[in-house]
Amino acid sequence: MNKENNKGIKKPRDENNIHYKNALIKKKQQIEEKRKKKEQEQLIKGISQEEINETTYYFENGLRRVLPYFYTFKVNAKGRWIGRTIVDVFVNEFKLCNEETTIKKIEKGLIKINNKIIEPSTIIHHHDEIEHQVHRHEPPVYCDKLTIVKETNDFIAIDKPSSIPVHPCGRYRHNTVIFILAHEGYTNLRPVHRLDRMTSGILLLAKTIQAAREFQSYMTIKKKEYLCRLRGRLEKTTVTSKIGRKRIDDKKIHVSVNEIEEDGKECHSEFNPLFYDEKTNTTVAVALLGSGRTHQIRVHLQSIHHPIVNDPIYAAQFDESKCDDEGIFETQYGGTIQWKIEEGCIECEHLKGDPIQYGIYLHAWRYVIDDEIFETKLPYWAQPNVDISQEINEFNKNHILI
């Protein structure tokens, strides 16, 4: 075949090619730098009274719910959107958008580009800012109080319940730690470390920008101890491996999962069993982290075939067609409608179901930061005389275990 006939034929990617590997490393570094920049921007901005007044909470059946409210999303055009119509992007990139509804929203001025009224045929260009006003619905979370474990002039440490994200992400905004505490008068808190939505336990927040920056620059978390309940009988063990990040990206879901991979970052976990429960064939263990990679404990336990018992991502098959970004299945909406149904709002017309699961058996139990110890009470599932067999059976019934 001559060169002319070769035009337009894409060569298969050689994943062992050194240039490809270097490009991949550079891409990951850029993503990490972008994440850090975003975190720094969040450090500067507190929560205004105007934001607090957007909505109110109400409580039902042990859950905290948010009254739907109007909110304008703003996003810069992504590379893959350039040259496409606004309708094409909305219909093919966003979960809840169809062509008819998108066109109606454009006609009502609820979707704009660069703060200007547009047509359905408008093409997206580089540097465009897209605005989308929505009637925003948030998922419920546990209504457990955010217990203050310790408070100083610079920091506040809380015992975060599972189900609550730390800061706004995805569908969550007011049902996050930052906003819940803002409603209680703490309007300028800034988290100084991470804790997953489905994980409970110690969360440290700085009261000022200066305290947050000092923590990141000078303070050291000397010891991180987590409690976990895992499948099978586990003896004392140590896991050292490299963990990398894999992203699932399509219209239905946008989620990152971690896995053992050669090009990942090396990390170290130590697991010390506290007791074994024969009835459920589970072990409660203390996990000590020598590093802090995302999902590190969950990935390491999966790698030694002792996953956290009710982990929907690392202990079961992940079905992106039925799950949210944490692998959680949804059931029917279980609350009462305490707001006026908004005409044209897809979620008002077709209420999304509530999660069937609000946490996993993973708890940030004790942190030693410099010379100060932060510790919570034991979660119920980590206590030897508590029967959790019904919870485990319910999880197993709804998932295909791996």
Kindly write down the DSSP assignment for every residue of 227-290, as one continuous string: EEEEES---SEEEEEEEEEEEEESSS-EEEEEEE-TTSEEEEEEEEEEEEETTTTEEEEEEEES
Beta bridge partners of 287: 226, 271
The residue among 41, 383, 24 whose CA lies nearest residue 227 is: 383
Domains and CATH numbers, the chain: 69-136 (3.10.290.10), 141-398 (3.30.2350.10)
**Residues 309/382, Cβ–Cβ less than 8 Å:** no
Average pLDDT, the chain: 86
The token pair at 136 is 């925003």
Active-site option among 159, 196, 311, 324: 196
Phi–psi pair at 227, nearest 5 degrees? -105, 140
pLDDT, average across residues 356-369: 94
Sheet-wide strand order for 129-136: 69-76, 129-136, 111-113
Rounded Cα distance between 149 and 219, Å, is: 19
Pairing of strands 221-231, 282-289: antiparallel
Looking at residue 151, its amino acid is E
**Are the CB atoms for 228 and 295 separated by under 8 Å?**
no
Return all residues near 396 (Cβ < 8 A) that are at least 6 apart.
none
> Could you tell me which residues come within 8 angstroms of residue 145 by beta carbon, excluding any fewer than 6 positions away?
none
35 pLDDT more than 90: no
Q: What does the pLDDT look like over 112-145, one tens digit per residue?
A: 999 999 999 999 999 999 999 999 999 999 999 9
Q: Is 196 a catalytic residue?
A: yes
pTM: 0.83
Query: Quick one: pLDDT band at residue 94, thresholds 50, 70, 90?
Result: confident
Between the ranges 34-48, 176-190, 254-268, where is the mean pLDDT highest?
A: 176-190
Question: How does 135-146 read in b/e, with b if 16+ C-beta sit within 10 Å?
Answer: bbbbbbbbbbeb
Pairing status of strand 362-369 against strand 200-206: parallel
- Under DSSP, the state recorded for 399 is S
Residue 396: closest CA among 357, 358, 363: 357
pLDDT of residue 240: 86
Among 12-21, 249-258, 334-343, 392-401, the least confident range: 249-258
Judged against a pLDDT cut of 90, whether residue 332 lies above it is answered with no
From 301, 326, 328, select the one nearest 232 (Cα to Cα).
301
Residue 270, Ramachandran bin (φ over 0: left; ψ between -120 and 50: alpha; else beta): beta
Give the pLDDT band (50/70/90) at residue 390: very high
